[in-house]
Amino acid sequence: MDKPKTNQSLPKWSLAELLDDSAADAVSLALADFESKVKIVESWRSKLKADMTVDEFKLFLSDIESENIAGEKLSSYAGLKFEEDTQNQAALALMEKLNDIFTDAGNRTLFFSLWWKDLDNESAERLMQAAGTESYWLKHMRLFKPYTLSEPVEQAINLKDTTGSNALNNLYSLLTDKLEFTLEIDGEKKTMTRGELETYRHNQDPKLREAGFKEFFRVFSETGPVLAYIYSAIVRDYYNETVKLRGFSSPISVRNLGNNIPDSVIEMLLALVKKNAGVFQKYFKLKAKWLGVSKLRRYDLYAPLPMPQKEYGFEEASNLVFEVFGKFSPKMEEYARKVFTDNHIDAQVRKGKHDGAFCSTPLPQFAPWVLLNYQGNVEDVETMAHELGHAVHSQMAKEHSIHTHHSALPLAETASTFGEMLLMNALLEKESDIQVKRYLLARMIDGTYATVGRQGFFALWEIAAHKMAVQGATADEISEIYLSNLRDQFGDSLELSEDFRWEWVTIPHFYSTPFYVYAYAFGELLVYSLYKMYQTEGESFKPKYLEILSAGGSDSPGNILAKAGIDIASEKFWQGGFDAIAELVRELENLSQ
């Protein structure tokens, strides 16, 4: 195997397609262009009428799309510029400036969504039929008609959010980003960031893992009451707006309508997560044996299993992913390669660069931008397959407009997780070493637990926590419910220490995006079920799968999946995903005998 390349020889992306900042006034010109497009949309206010012609309406939609494209280019440029160097103060300042500009533009053009939602059904249907790829965006917007308020109230809510819930989220980030942690390493006390501490919480040494977790929760528990107060304030604000003012039946119904999935489907999904907790509990008991302990502690949940060191050079890893994707579909390989040929990948490890990995898909006409921190281990190859899966999904749907390009959250992980699964199964097929096979399978199940079990129970806790916060529960009471949730999740499969009661205040999604987390469980279970279909149907499955990706966000998840013969209201379908996970656990159990 070739060795990983040095940081200097790994690729670093170009953002020139979003904004060529070689000219000093590039940002100013882009801002002026955006403002001109906002004014064009504003000029339509008096022209929007129930009896307007189809051609007039299509011209208006074109102007809306032009404004959104200009805004997305600016927003993505600033965001990616900051992610490549989080110490870049100019990028941070531009992001903050754009937040104010986009809030103002949103209020100035708010009249369209209000007019559209209020339009009579006959006129709306006539215009939607001529809207082409924009049709679903328009249809989805009208789902919110019963929950939409008057223009002055909607504008006031937008302004309130800037200095209300958005400001509280910024305060949460300010408080948690500056936290420092101290660990004694080889007799020397070291002060470190959360990201640096993460290495020790997942260390091979069980004592270091325990020390890392204890220090993590010690620091967070000191700020815990303040962070809990911020959470309760955000939740009450969310409840007041969505349930009291808008009339939603429950806080989670807001997210469900945004995803266009019936409440009953999510209720069934979360009930199945709880019902199948034993699948993961069995795995944790197996893992305890391999780690040489009678029972795992919660500190040991993600403890790595021993594995012979393997390194993958960057070129070797990318070619491996291309090969696996190409074997399934030449189109998938073509789109994965395009990220590289368009210079849209940043794989270097640099000081100040965003940790982890992501795929950013600003606009349909561009290959996505992929960020990695590549160091050559098998996890990095798996991450590459995951993020390039996202990139394939985006490009498969490139024929749609900016409004229907991105899939709904529950389908957003379909291609990424499927790409990971293709890679891991290819590695398992090639591997003869039992220890390596066990390691790879355990990696898959660890990731599946983190996505299905953990995120599903997160959502169950959120439902209870929102209700409690509105009723005035204390930080200790919410923490106790969180600990009870963990006990249900793990049963007798591990030892759970009291310090995990504060884990919930460490998770930003609970603050910034309520009920976002169940989309992970939905997506992962969906992929397990899809992969099971692939194993059964072979080549005849591939067109169905590619059609799902090509749909992007042009229809509801239920309708998109129905075309592939999947009924999201079927408990049997979702249980099939859990059954596939259980098969992996049994396969892993057989390797240890």
Instruction: Say which CATH topology domain 9-167 has.
Output: Butyryl-CoA Dehydrogenase, subunit A; domain 3 (1.20.140)
Question: What is the pLDDT at residue 539?
Answer: 96
Sign of CA dihedral 26, 30, 31, 35: positive
Question: What is the pLDDT at residue 78?
Answer: 95
Question: What is the pLDDT at residue 435?
Answer: 82
Question: What is the pLDDT at residue 356?
Answer: 83
Report residue 549: phi and psi, to 5°.
-65, -40
50-59 long-range Cβ contacts below 8 angstroms, 24+ apart:
50/119, 50/120, 50/123, 51/123, 52/127, 54/126, 54/127, 54/130, 57/127, 57/130, 57/131, 58/130, 58/131
**Mean pLDDT (whole number) for 191-206:** 86
Question: What is the pLDDT at residue 3?
Answer: 45
pLDDT band at 7 (very low <50, low <70, confident <90, very high): low
- Is the pLDDT at 237 greater than 60, yes or no? yes
CA atoms within 13 A on the CB side of 176: 25
Closest to 291 measured CA to CA, from 494, 429, 431, 453 = 494
CB 264: neighbour CB atoms within 10 A?
10
pLDDT band at 308 (very low <50, low <70, confident <90, very high): low
Per-residue pLDDT tens over the stretch 172-193: 888 988 899 999 988 899 998 8
pLDDT band at 315 (very low <50, low <70, confident <90, very high): very high
Neighbouring residues of 565: CB distance < 8 A, sequence distance ≥ 6: 544
Encoded amino acid at 340, one letter: F
Neighbouring residues of 375: CB distance < 8 A, sequence distance ≥ 6: 4, 349
Q: Is the distance from CB of 17 to CB of 366 less than 8 angstroms?
A: yes
Where exactly are the structural domains of the chain? 9-167
Place of tokens 């749909």: 551
pLDDT band at 593 (very low <50, low <70, confident <90, very high): low
Strands 358-360 vs 369-371: parallel, antiparallel or unpaired: antiparallel
Q: Is the distance from CB of 181 to CB of 194 less than 8 angstroms?
A: yes
Question: What is the pLDDT at residue 553?
Answer: 95
Per-residue pLDDT tens over the stretch 540-549: 999 999 999 9
- Is the pLDDT at 248 greater than 60, yes or no? yes
Per-residue pLDDT tens over the stretch 506-545: 999 999 999 999 999 999 999 999 998 898 999 999 999 9
Question: What is the pLDDT at residue 303?
Answer: 86
Q: Is the distance from CB of 523 to CB of 411 less than 8 angstroms?
A: yes
